[in-house]
Amino acid sequence: MKIENMVEQYGEFVEQIKESSGERVIAAPEKTYGFVAVSPGEGISDVLRDLSVDRIVSGGQTMNPSTEDILAAVDATPAENIYIFPNNKNIILTAEMTAKLTDKKVFVVPTKTVPEGITAIMSFDETAGPQENFDAMRAAMKNVRSGSVTYAVRDTVVSEKKVKKGDMMGIEGSVVRAVEKTAEKAAAKLLAAMVSDSTSFVTIFYGEDVTPQAAEKFQESLQKKYGDRIDMAFTAGGQPVYSYIIAVE
């Protein structure tokens, strides 16, 4: 999408919001801080709720939430200061646009992945000030390495690796670390590239295409390899598209 088209659409949306502002239901502040987070799967949503996230916006790589979706979540959050966690690089701009459409004080923490979002939220200090927390969250999200496993939609060459349609790719950032025929092999190879001597904890969210039995078998194999030095947690994330989302700390 061209930038000028995005600007034009944003302008149109602002006008729509102004016209319908009388219909918006905005929760009055009942507390100092509130959280809004985008989640790609129900299992991940449960984890975010456990971390006291007030409103979950359904989203992800294939169902990007709109500005209106995020604004509705912000409106419904009864807090003076609200932190938004996009948890996807493609949603950050939408979240930033949303922040301009409300009188509430909104901070968009530019989390590009679910692991970054969870790490940022866990660094929150209720006794700290709004800006201090914002700065701490942005610093904390840099302390986690994020990886994911997904399938190739076409034959291609990426990161100097030949990939055939249907292959499973282990990706860290924009780098393809592994290309394998199964999600578990790709995830194992990806994880091997991500861990280091300083790694102490690994969290793995398995997707909707992975059975609990397959996830349990994979977990057992990883614990045999890393169990003596790295704590591991497996959770049913329920996310589409990505068979595994990996956080390394």
User: How would you label 95-131 residue by residue, b for 16+ Cβ within 10 Å and e otherwise?
Assistant: bbbbbebbebebbbbbbbbbbbbbbbbebbeeeeeee
CB within 8 A of 27, min separation 6: which ones?
Answer: 75, 76, 77, 78
Give the pLDDT band (50/70/90) at residue 64.
Answer: confident
Predicted local confidence at residue 100, as pLDDT: 95
> Residue 3 pLDDT > 90, yes or no?
no
Percent of the chain with pLDDT over 90: 85
**What stretch(es) of the chain map to CATH 3.30.1180?**
145-248
The 3-state DSSP class for residue 45 equals: helix
pLDDT at site 121: 99
> Residues of CATH 3.40.50.510 domain(s) within the chain?
3-143
Q: What is the pLDDT of residue 10?
A: 53
- Kindly report which listed range (2-11, 92-101, 193-202, 228-237) carries the lowest average pLDDT score: 2-11
Q: What pLDDT, on the 0 to 100 scale, is given for residue 25?
A: 84
Assigned token pair, 128: 């700290």
Tokens 């530019």 label which residue? 110
For residue 4, pLDDT beyond 60:
no
Report whether CATH 3.30.1180 matches the domain 145-248.
Answer: yes
Strands 55-58 and 156-158: unpaired
Encode pLDDT of 124-180 as tens digits.
999 999 999 999 999 999 999 999 999 999 999 988 899 999 999 999 999 999 999
CA torsion, ordered 35, 37, 43, 47, to nearest 10 deg: -30
**Local confidence band at 43 (pLDDT 50, 70, 90 cut-offs):** very high
Give the model's pLDDT for residue 228.
86
The CATH homologous superfamily for domain 3-143 is Phosphotransferase system, mannose-type IIA component (3.40.50.510)
Q: Cβ-count burial of 196 within 10 angstroms (0-12 exposed, 13-18 middle, 19+ buried)?
A: exposed
Strands (E), 109-174: 145-151, 156-158, 161-163, 168-172
In 3-state terms, what secondary structure has residue 247?
Answer: strand
pLDDT at residue 22 tops 70: no
Q: DSSP for 191-205, please give it.
A: HHHH--TT--EEEEE
The reported pLDDT for the residue numbered 24 is 82
Task: With a cut of 60, say whether residue 6 has pLDDT above it.
Answer: no
pTM here is 0.89
What is the predicted pLDDT for the residue at 59?
83
